[in-house]
Amino acid sequence: MKKINSILILLVFLSWPSFAKEKIYEYQQFLTDNNLSALIKSEEETSIDLIEFSSFSCSHCAAFHNETLQELKESEVFKYINYYIIDYPLNQAAFYASIVANCDPSIRSMYSDTTYSNYDIWTKAGSGEQIIEMLNSYGLQFGLADEQLNTCLKDENYQNNLLELQISAQEIFGVESTPTFLINGQKVAGNRPASEFIKIIKEKLNQ
């Protein structure tokens, strides 16, 4: 964890309240400017964008992934969803997990699923070293190479980009807690019953 101590000041900064900019800056432009790709992309002619701002250390984010998202995947609306995850780490452990998750885009989806499904295990580890070992193992089991992981952990520009994306989300969209969602630009704070997400998605599809 020593390699990311120098970035803690930014995490402290992010804990202070901020005011969202006027919504002149559309969320689609945010995706384009930051070269963000959907983890799951709809093949339907009409689709909506579901953007999740989440922290790996957030219990409500884990509940969304382990329960609500699974219900959405089984619903009739999921085939219309372009699903994005944008990391909004709330502490060092979450930031470390974000580094591993984004080190190889091809494992991002599987890494997120595994890390959240094992939330009660790695978050209750007895030491920081054990947390790091488990977070690393979730990436390595999907083919992330040791050398590639070490490169990401040493790359300050890469790490700063992750945090700058978080700062931008806070300044532009007023994201201050996790999980927060944008559904075709409509902000929804907190994990909700799947039925609420489905209702909003259906409304967006009919607009």
Calculate the average pLDDT of the chain: 90
How far is the CA of 173 from the CAs of 89, 106, 133, 206, in angstroms?
A: 16, 27, 34, 24
Q: Is the pLDDT of residue 161 over 60?
A: yes
Contact 20, 59 (CB under 8 A): no
pLDDT of residue 20: 42
pLDDT of residue 12: 45
Q: Is the pLDDT of residue 10 over 70?
A: no
* Confidence bin at 167 (pLDDT 50/70/90): very high
Q: Work out whether the CA dihedral 67, 87, 13, 175 comes out positive or negative.
A: negative
β-pairing, 48-54 with 81-87? parallel
Q: pLDDT of 129-153, one tens digit each?
A: 999 999 999 999 999 999 999 999 9
As a whole number of Å, the CA-based R_g of the chain is 17
DSSP 64: I
Q: pLDDT of 189-198, one tens digit each?
A: 999 999 999 9
Omega within 30 of 0 (cis) for the link into 179:
yes
Contact 39, 52 (CB under 8 A): no
Q: Give 143: exposed, middle or buried? Use CB within 10 Å, 0-12, 13-18, 19+.
A: exposed
Q: pLDDT of 53-112, one tens digit each?
A: 999 999 999 999 999 999 999 999 999 999 999 999 999 999 999 999 999 999 999 999
Give percent above pLDDT 70 in the chain: 88
Q: Could you tell me the fold of the domain covering 2-205?
A: Glutaredoxin (3.40.30)
Kindly report whether the global pTM for this prediction surpasses the value 0.95: no
Q: Is the pLDDT of residue 26 over 80?
A: yes
pLDDT average, residue stretch 112-117: 98
The domain spans of the chain are 2-205
